[in-house]
Chains A and B, each alone.
Chain A
Amino acid sequence: MKTPLKATALAALGAIAIACAVPPTPAQAQSAWAIDKAAAPLKGTKIKVMFLDRPGYRAIIKLLPEFEKQTGIKVNYEIVPYENAREKQVLNFTSKGDLTMALVDLVWIGEFAESGWIVPIDTYSKDAAITDPNLNLKGFFPLLLNAFGSWDGKVYGLPFDNYSGLMFYNRCMLKESGFDQPPQTWDELKNVYAPKLTKADKKQFAFALQSLRGETQSADSFMRFLWPWGGSLLDKDFKSNLMAPGSQTGLKFRQDLMKYMPPGVVSYDHAEAVNALAQGQVAMITEWSAFYGTLTDPKTSKLGDCLAVAPEPAGPAGRLPALGGFSLAVASQASPAQQKASWLFIQWATSEAIAKPYVEAGGVSGRMAVYDDPAIQAKYKYVKPMVESWQKGVPEYRPRFPAWASLTEIVAEFGSKMMLGEAPVDQGAKEIGTRIETVLKKEGYYDGKKKKLQ
């Protein structure tokens, strides 16, 4: 039989044990956690990532000294052109190189995840010592977290450099032609706006579509004219959907629209399309939100107050703008200490706390809260249409599976040939379909060997 004293002591011990077992409230955790304390055991650790020569990366580079000062972690980065970024990272990962993080374009997520080169974030997010209690995954736009960072139900990367397709236009040119607002639909753009805005004798055109062979042709030009017309590259069985009425209508629409574009648009990359608008040669372009900085900089653009931004026009199937962007993920080849340090960096670079300075330095954050700030809304014209575009979108705007690397080459080749008139739209679409089905068959999508994820 227990004595009252013993019982009291046991009860007290039990209460202490229960009290200890109860997790701290978020407020308690927040006050206890600090990045400098979390990074203390990792001081001096060197981590490495690849960056692009784009505004979002220049923005984080500006802010980097603050992170390095707080944590003592040294962040090394290499700036590479987009065209070489995947190649360099794949070679680095296959040769067990020095990258401790992956910069993952939305269309690389399947390849990087299935190859085991990146680590799901729950590996680290369970570790309270190195995970910010304010991580708040729900604070990202769900479309971005899903499309840029997730594969097969797991989150691998956090949205870092985020884009939506937007319509940038020269408000003054539109006004001169009698338009007070931008076109709301693609049909309106082609049939109402384009004829009035095109003055070929003065080398002035209504619209420019960046269509250089490569990812620019496949992602920015070809795919842009599928979804808004109810088309898509693949159907639910992963067979080509390019001969479906929606896809055919969209691709023929692109062909018809070409008469309102500058000659040689097939050789336009982003720089040429943005420059054509910036120099007043074209009235409208559909481009990534990231180019806002280039178009507002007086050194690179003479648009000034004439620049205006709107969501991409809607097609018969709705407003389904281009979606693109990059997440940052921890590389599996890094040492345990480097992985932890990389995880701290990724959280910091994509955090709500840094979102405002990041946007002010020229980046485009994937956090929702920052765009509620009236000062940000007032200062950056692209915010409203971009937030609107991210409310609804198609994560598989371009399939994100590993086979995309092969498919994009096929689409780019025949997409360009269509635009040049070397292949009629239906024949070109048929050829693309045959070739991509051959690739997907080899990949094992038709014999049930591989899950149909895109």
Chain B
Amino acid sequence: MAQPASRLSHGRFTPLKFLAPSVLALLAVGIWPTIFALVTSLREYKLTRPRSGFPFVGLDNYQAVLTDATFWETLARTAGFYLTVMPVQLALGLAIALMLHRPGWGAVRSLLRVSLVVPLATTYAVVGLIGRLVFNRDFGVANQFASWLGLPGLDWLGNPHGAFAAIALMDIWQWTPFCALIFLAGLSMVPNEIEEAARLETKSHWALLRHVQLPYLLPGLTAVLILRSADILKLFDMVFTMTRGGPGAATELVSIYIQRVGFRIFDMGTASAQAILLLVLTIMLSRLFIRVFYREIER
């Protein structure tokens, strides 16, 4: 006997039913904590003073953050870090992607592609610990390389500039493969016939990149910029295990400062206000990157 037609047809609420689990999951893991942080940022919320209660203080925490010189210093240091690592990661990532996009190399190419995932799959804290070993003054690999080149060993982690360079190099090591993979995906989107036609037209690699491949790379570039800005604004584990933000304040990025306020001083109200301000900054940067770099590919 055939099923009644009403059972088989899709009701008005069917799409809602399919969407509900994802929406609920998103609410639980994303929206609810954000709302909680927003509410906390409006309270005096000191975990170690439970007897004082957690009274609403309006925008006092935001005022305190915006007039806090250390917050601005750490934010400026984070911007400096971003501007140091991103161009290198993009340039190296693109170079690797172009190299792997070339025909030939067979199994080696596949192996290289897989090996790109290794740094990405390494936990941040482990990257930091590796960094401590690599940049150790006495037995680190970095100074070993320097000695082969006839250069004197550097006290990387005991020197403010050396420590900043060390965390930047570890970040470049970890995230250049990510850029390479995204660009490789972009390059594989270029239709073969267009690329082959272009190769017949010109022998200039630059012209090929600029006029044929670049349009396909822009969406990936936008994604890289958005993801890496969010990531660098919350970069904590690697830096903390390597330097704890020192020496002095040389590697104290904004995330290290927020952790200090939130989980050392336990001033959750101020830390939440800082986190919300960073969220706003991330959204603004994302909008900016989309506006400047993102282009739909015309087919």
Q: Which of B10-18, B45-53, B230-238 contacts A (4 or more CB under 8 A)?
A: B45-53
Minimum Cβ distance to chain A for residue B242 (Å): 10
Cβ-based interface call for B266 (8 A):
yes
- Which listed residue (B245, B247, B264, B265) contacts A266, Cβ 8 A? B247
* CB nearest neighbor in B for A84: B263
Q: How far is the CA of A240 from the CA of B268 in the complex (A)?
A: 27
**B195 in contact (CB, < 8 A):** no
CB nearest to B162 among chain A residues: A264
B266 close to A115 (CB less than 8 A): no
Given the known inter-chain contacts A266-B158, A267-B157, please indicate yes or no for A90 contacting B246, CB distance below 8 A.
Answer: no
Interface residues of B toward A: which range?
20 to 34
In chain A, what residue has the closest Cβ to B261?
Answer: A409
The answer on a CB contact under 8 Å between A90 and B266 is: yes
Q: Tell yes or no: A31 within 8 A of B by CB.
A: no
Check if A402 is an interface residue, CB within 8 A of chain B.
yes
- Asked if B33 is at the interface of the complex by the 8 Å CB criterion, the answer is no
Contact A115-B51, Cβ < 8 Å, known A90-B266, A416-B247, A420-B160: yes
B48 with A402: CB separation less than 8 A: yes
A-facing mask of B148-176, CB < 8 A → 1, else 0?
00000001011110010000000000000
Q: Which of B239-289 contact A (CB under 8 A)?
A: 243-249, 252, 260, 263-266
Q: Which A residues touch B159, using CB under 8 A? A: 263-264
Q: Is the CB of A213 within 8 A of B244?
A: yes
Given A116-B51, A409-B260, the answer on whether A266 and B266 have CB atoms closer than 8 Å is: no
Whether A136 sits at the interface, judged by CB under 8 Å, is no
In the bound complex, CA of A214 to CA of B244 (Å): 8
Q: Is the CB of A264 within 8 A of B48?
A: no
Tell me if A111 counts as interface (CB < 8 A to partner B): yes
A70 at the binding interface (Cβ < 8 Å): no
Q: Which of B47, B137, B160, B246 has the most CB of A within 10 A?
A: B246
Known contacts being A405-B48, A405-B264, A405-B265, is A264 close to B248, with CB within 8 Å?
A: no
Interface residues of A (CB under 8 A from B): 87, 90-91, 94, 111, 114-116, 212-214, 217, 263-268, 281, 402, 405-406, 409, 413, 416-417, 419-420, 422
Closest 10 CB pairs of A and B: A264-B158, A213-B246, A264-B155, A267-B158, A266-B247, A267-B157, A417-B248, A416-B248, A263-B155, A87-B263
List 8 other contacts, CB 8 Å, given A87-B263, A115-B51, A266-B158.
A94-B47, A114-B51, A213-B244, A264-B137, A264-B159, A266-B247, A405-B264, A409-B260
